[in-house]
């Protein structure tokens, strides 16, 4: 009897090749499409669920496997979209993809696998799983570093890894497309989704305005000079370049050098409703220390890591953004404040509260947490 698996089908080439590879290996494959967001006149419709399901259906028909559609929209709005708005209102920048994987995507897939009597869940993520000699399971970065998606999956548990399969993690993206083309899959050249899918081509600021009302405030430079006015501190992210693309202009008064410089969002003072901006290279844009909320470890014992990291700290590599640079860092546990703290080997730009800091030991995903002030 064939081993039964379900494959999360998104309509894209990665999940399609994952399904193809599992079918080729002789598994009993069922495709599962999660409907998280309906068509809406409020958004561009560029990434609609109907179009994506249609694409997934064509692949499943080609592979001669069934496709089940699971409605997760209610939970997606509650746990991802509403939470995203709440975070933006607080002035922090969340990562909805991580939240979706933890609260919606994988919980729904595990539930569906249970209903269908499937042994494993398969997805088209560019990550790998390795079982070590001691019986421990570790999540590892994908072979293609430019497409590695481990950043979005750091909140998985070791018990999850025992049931998950990531067939394309050992391939590079061009190889995946080549496999799809050879298999006769129509979506072999389909572009990958960039950004938050349900927003489509709608401007992020316009999207936020549907729930968060504008609130005018001052924009100041590092010296406290007023250089302009913003229409809502929540609409902007630390590290964003000032200019017409984010609908934010400032008066670069001062010397010619500053006028020619590129300027970026440096800080947000929520209480005073003030946006702080600075020219490229200014020290206020740099950050190397942070605390980590909701700290999570995939395989390691939290108590052992607390003890090991409390004094000298634990050497790790940190990734502050998806496929961002892996930075040598030191993880410390602060027993007085009962929290983990992260110290990068050098200060970098674009570190924003609410985003994830994901930690690595060699190729293994160690864990991570949500960035907040130290």
Question: In degrees rounded to 5, what are phi and psi of residue 9?
Answer: -100, 120
- The DSSP line for 182-194 is HTT-GGGGPPPP-
H helix count then E strand count, the chain = 11, 17
Note whether 169 and 125 are within 8 A (CB): yes
Task: Note if 60 is an active site residue.
Answer: no
What residues contact residue 330 under an 8 Å CB cut-off, 6+ apart?
313, 314, 315, 316, 342, 343, 345
Q: Which residues pair with 10 in a beta bridge?
A: none
3-state helix, strand, coil in the chain (%, to 5): 30, 30, 40
How many degrees, rounded to 5, is the angle at CA 95 between CA 273 and CA 157? 140
**Residue in 36, 47, 60, 197 annotated catalytic:** 197
**Residue in 36, 47, 60, 100 annotated catalytic:** 100
The CA distance from 201 to 270, in Å, is 28
Question: Per DSSP, which regions of the chain are E strands?
Answer: 4-8, 28-35, 67-71, 120-122, 127-131, 137-141, 164-165, 217-220, 226-230, 263-269, 274-279, 286-297, 314-319, 327-334, 339-349, 356-361, 364-372
Task: Note if 197 is an active site residue.
Answer: yes
Task: Give helix 49-63 / helix 13-24 axis angle, nearest 10°.
Answer: 20
- The DSSP line for 90-152 is TT----HHHHHIIIIIHHHHHHHHHHHT-SEEE---SEEEEE-TTS-EEEEE-S-TTT--GGG
What amino acid positions are annotated as catalytic residues? 100, 197
């Amino acid at each position: 009897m064939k081993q039964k698996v379900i494959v999360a089908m998104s309509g894209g080439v990665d999940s399609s090749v994952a399904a193809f590879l599992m079918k080729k290996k002789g598994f009993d494959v069922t495709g599962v499409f999660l409907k998280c967001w309906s068509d809406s006149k409020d958004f561009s419709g560029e990434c609609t669920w109907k179009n994506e399901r249609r694409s997934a259906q064509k692949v499943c028909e080609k592979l001669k496997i069934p496709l089940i559609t699971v409605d997760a929209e209610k939970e997606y709005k509650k746990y991802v979209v509403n939470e995203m708005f709440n975070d933006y209102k607080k002035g922090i920048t969340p990562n909805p993809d991580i939240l979706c994987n933890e609260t919606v995507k994988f919980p729904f897939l595990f539930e569906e696998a249970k209903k269908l009597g499937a042994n494993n869940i398969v997805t088209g993520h560019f990550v790998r799983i390795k079982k070590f000699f001691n019986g421990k399971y570790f999540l590892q970065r994908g072979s293609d570093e430019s497409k590695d998606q481990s950043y979005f999956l750091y909140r998985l548990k070791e018990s999850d890894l025992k049931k998950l399969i990531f067939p394309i993690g050992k391939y590079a993206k061009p190889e995946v497309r080549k496999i799809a083309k050879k298999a006769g899959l129509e979506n072999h050249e389909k572009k990958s989704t960039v950004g938050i899918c349900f927003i489509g081509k709608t401007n992020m600021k316009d999207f936020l305005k549907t729930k968060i009302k504008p609130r005018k405030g001052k924009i100041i430079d590092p010296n406290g000079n007023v250089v302009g006015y913003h229409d809502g501190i929540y609409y902007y992210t630390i590290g964003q370049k000032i200019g017409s693309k984010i609908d934010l202009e400032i008066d670069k008064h001062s010397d010619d050098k500053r006028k020619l410089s590129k300027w970026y969002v440096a800080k947000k003072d929520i209480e005073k409703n003030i946006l702080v901006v600075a020219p490229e290279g200014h020290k206020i844009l740099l950050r190397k220390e942070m605390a980590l909320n909701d700290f999570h470890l995939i395989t390691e014992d939290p108590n052992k890591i607390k003890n090991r990291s409390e004094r000298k700290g634990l050497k790790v590599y940190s990734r502050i953004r998806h496929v961002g640079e892996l930075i040598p860092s030191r993880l410390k546990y602060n027993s007085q404040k009962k929290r983990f703290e992260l110290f990068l080997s050098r200060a970098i730009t674009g570190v924003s509260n609410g985003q994830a800091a994901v930690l690595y030991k060699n190729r293994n995903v160690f864990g991570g947490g949500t960035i907040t002030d130290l």
